[in-house]
Structure 1
Amino acid sequence: MMNINNIPQSEEVFYKAYVDKATCRNVQVWPVPEDLDNWHEVDFDESFDYSGKTYDPAACEWGATVESDEAYNERMLDERREAYIESDKLFMEWQYDQTPESKAAWVEAVAKVKRDFPFK
């Protein structure tokens, strides 16, 4: 979720905003952060909708909408379902022959699915 922090309710005009380097999603307009090493300084446009976007410091521009954790996890679940088709075959093979080698192959396949498609 995008956070735009500390915009004062006054007639003062702000030209710079600060985006945290940790996530490139939190924007602070005022006050100027004390730890500037942890923030990117960007031009501030009060008409721009910063919500749900992430900042790309390499290109100095705002990127695509940030996927919510819920949407990300749903996508990972779909990917896992596809990947588990192969690991399920290895599980059935292990159930059939009960060898340590076939069990190790199945366990490694499941671990790979979890590594490749992690949940947040």
Structure 2
Amino acid sequence: MKLYTPFFAPESDRPPVLVVERPSLRVLVFGWLGLVFHGAWMPGLLAGAATVALHLLPASGVVVGALAAGLHLGLSAFTPDIRRWDLRLRGYRAQKVVAGPDRDTALLRLLDRHPPTLNGDATVMGAA
């Protein structure tokens, strides 16, 4: 079972965003580009600027490589926290954690807990 934190967009009919509560292999391998691929643009670009600054250090290649590997490891370990922070900055509201063996099952459990309602013009509203 995996744990997901759902985030609902404010006043929108967009589906909720589910943030999985585990380190990201994509971010471990690709670093700041992995954050951008996850949709966390601002933190990803900030980490990219830190990576560029790291490579501009007047140190040996071994030291820079070790620091870059540490940066990738740190970004990977804290990817869920970084994504939650980015979503909160964009106005998304967090809900209670939902569990499921995969993303689809977790979304079904979430929608069972928060059924979408129809307003007068028959459009689905975001969160309860």
Q: TM-score, normalised by structure 2?
A: 0.29
| Structure having the higher Rg | 1
Q: Relative contact order, CA 8 A, sep 6+: which one is greater?
A: 2
The structure whose residues are more often strand, as a share, is 1
The structure whose residues are more often helix, as a share, is 2
